[in-house]
Structure 1
């Protein structure tokens, strides 16, 4: 690697790291300045990766000990790139996730090539390659097992952070100690490996959710037509999820086609109405019969028909007047009164109730 290339690579990587570290000063990820820093850092890292590939900075025939100490920071190019891509506010979320997934996979593949991955991480990476879209760090569905695994990984991450901070202090105190510098970058690669697997797990879950979401409308479908279909629940085949028919279907009573043929002969039953407004009022009216007159109007109508007699009980009952000239009728009334008096004398009040007497 020439001095110019080394200078360019060092400058691009330092610029990307500076912009990436500056993201912590922003309060919102949707801020335009935040996104500008993200895009600028991504562009610098893309150029770093391109330049490192051109000069064959890393070779599959080497091991970690064969890498120069000054080149060790560039092992993190793809990890930093994947982490920044996830922060990018892009309309195509699926494309963003897939780009980040590829960057993390390249990072892990590079570490696996140099045998930097532990045995456990190497097996985990093989499992990822076998099923990228269904990858999960913890495969068990048992709650207790998942809880124990999460606690174990949390302790491992915490231990790696403590180790990294300790090595960073040693490296700062003895900048000329090459062994301390190499240990520091090796520890950084270990904790980045842990975070890369966690990110791949999250990406796989989010891609599953996106796969279940409805697809975007085809490019040829206009917005007005799309709004109409969404508003009415229509699909391409004309099927509708709506339970209530449209107004035009109500006019036709659900029957499509013309009412009359060319000769004027009815093709289906129909009802003539005085206006479309009357039909519309009937459609959106109540489904029960409403009163057609008030109570006062009803009483007045009943009085007119003779159903109500005014004047009370005295006028409603007229005593029968006997005709003095009708002797037979008067005699019959007299006999009826005598028979009733005799019945009352023979049957005093209460004489018939003999069951409940004490």
Structure 2
């Protein structure tokens, strides 16, 4: 095992000890828990700086070039991402995006050293296509999602059993470099498995946060906003009411009408205007008809506004045997002919003749 600066190993062990305390000893969501998370995050960030300064990993190296003792530091980014995901902040979305970036850094480095299985590499490619919508299974297929969840639970159980097997004999780990290497590689396999589950959970949480930001305000928030607007209106005198106060509609000045002792403070007139205003509150904006169409027509007929009937009688035919009537009709026709001869068309119009 290659010797590393005591500060890096000690710092990394201390950060993992804080993480273990968070899972087993400290009450969740307490102040002690939040303080411990912050302390562990600071230690892991310092570990990242030391790993970079010591150039422990390089893209030009292969997995066989990494000393067995240095393999554990490949998981620094994973632990940091996990603690960021667990921590609290006023901007939860930004915190989750930071955790996602650390998970991505962790998977990228493992992919360079070919420490991702075929299935993990396929999921990593799927994640890179759209990081913030990544999902282990279709969100619309509940049965498929349940089956994948069960399968991944079994895989995780097998990985934990394998890890437990390699870590049982501490004496062997101190003297057998190959056993140490197998232990760290088993840890990395387990953390790879848990990383994709965490990315799936982060994607779901970011979607919920997005929906909350775009959701309409709750009724209590609307009431609170309206109350603030009413207070501001009282202070400035401005109001968004479309109707004027009742006192203004009644023609009164501002201020009380009577003093405490009943003495009038301003002239007033007793009127039923208040009742009229109350009646007009819910009336329509247009005038409603006061009678039906039939009633209106009947009223017009009584006033003589409607001309009814008309001469629809057919002209009666002259009886050829009625000589007196035939003579009368003949005389009428002759008289009309004589009149038209004596009075040509237009003879009565004496205007505009020069």
TM-score where L is the length of structure 2: 0.62
Per-residue displacement from partner, 1:51-108 (whole Å, max 9, x unpaired)?
1112211111222221101111101100100111122121111111011111111111
Query: What is the CA–CA distance in structure 1 between the aligned matches of 2:251 and 2:38, rounded to whole Å?
Result: 69
For the Cα contact (< 8 Å) 2:107–2:124, is it kept in 1? yes
1:35 aligns with 2:34: yes
- 1:46 paired with 2:45, answer yes
The answer as to whether partners of 1:171 and 1:181 remain within 8 angstroms in 2 is: no
Cα gap change, 1:65/1:146 in structure 2, threshold over 3 Å: closer, same or farther? same
CA distance in 2, matches of 1:276, 1:22: 70
Q: In 1, distance between residues paired with 2:53 and 2:209?
A: 36
Q: Contact 2:163–2:187 (CA<8 Å) still a contact in 1?
A: yes
Structure 1 segments unaligned to the other structure (5+ residues): 216-225, 235-245, 254-258, 260-269, 288-358
- Residue of 259, 271, 276 corresponding to 2:250: 271
28 and 249 in structure 1: CA distance in 2 versus 1, 3 angstrom threshold: farther
1:130 alignment partner in structure 2: 129
Preserved contact between residue 71 and residue 181 of structure 2 (Cα < 8 Å): yes
Shift of 1:142: 2.3
| CA pair 233-109 structure 1, distance change in 2 beyond 3 A | farther
Q: Distance in 2 between matches of 1:20 and 1:108?
A: 21
Could you say which residue in structure 2 is the equivalent of 1:231?
226
Cα deviation for residue 174 of structure 1 reads: 4.8
Structure-2 residue corresponding to 1:90: 89
SS in structure 2 at match of 1:214: helix
SS of aligned partner of 1:58? coil
Q: State yes or no: 1:208 paired with 2:201.
A: no
CA–CA distance in structure 1, aligned partners of residues 16 and 129 of structure 2: 33
Q: Retained in 2: the 8 A contact 1:171–1:180?
A: no
In structure 2, distance between residues paired with 1:134 and 1:25: 32
Report the CA distance between 1:140 and its aligned residue: 6.0
Distance in 2, Cα, partners of 1:27 & 1:39:
14
**Structure 1 residues 13-57: Cα deviation after superposition (integer angstroms, max 9, x where no partner):** 112112221213445332222111111111111011011112211
Shift of the 276–228 alpha-carbon distance from structure 1 to 2, 3 Å rule, reads farther
Q: Is the 8 A contact 1:82 1:104 kept in 2?
A: yes
* Shift, 1:112, TM fit: 0.8
Tell me the residue number matched to 2:179.
Answer: 180
CA deviation profile, 1:152-194 (whole Å, cap 9, x unmatched): 1111111111111111114554531111111111110011011
Give yes or no for contact 2:62–2:113 (8 Å, CA) kept in 1.
Answer: yes
Unaligned segments of structure 2, at least 5 residues: 215-220, 230-238, 258-272, 283-354
Is the Cα–Cα contact under 8 Å of residues 172 and 179 in structure 2 kept in the other structure?
A: no
CA distance in structure 2 between the partners assigned to 1:130 and 1:21 by the alignment: 34
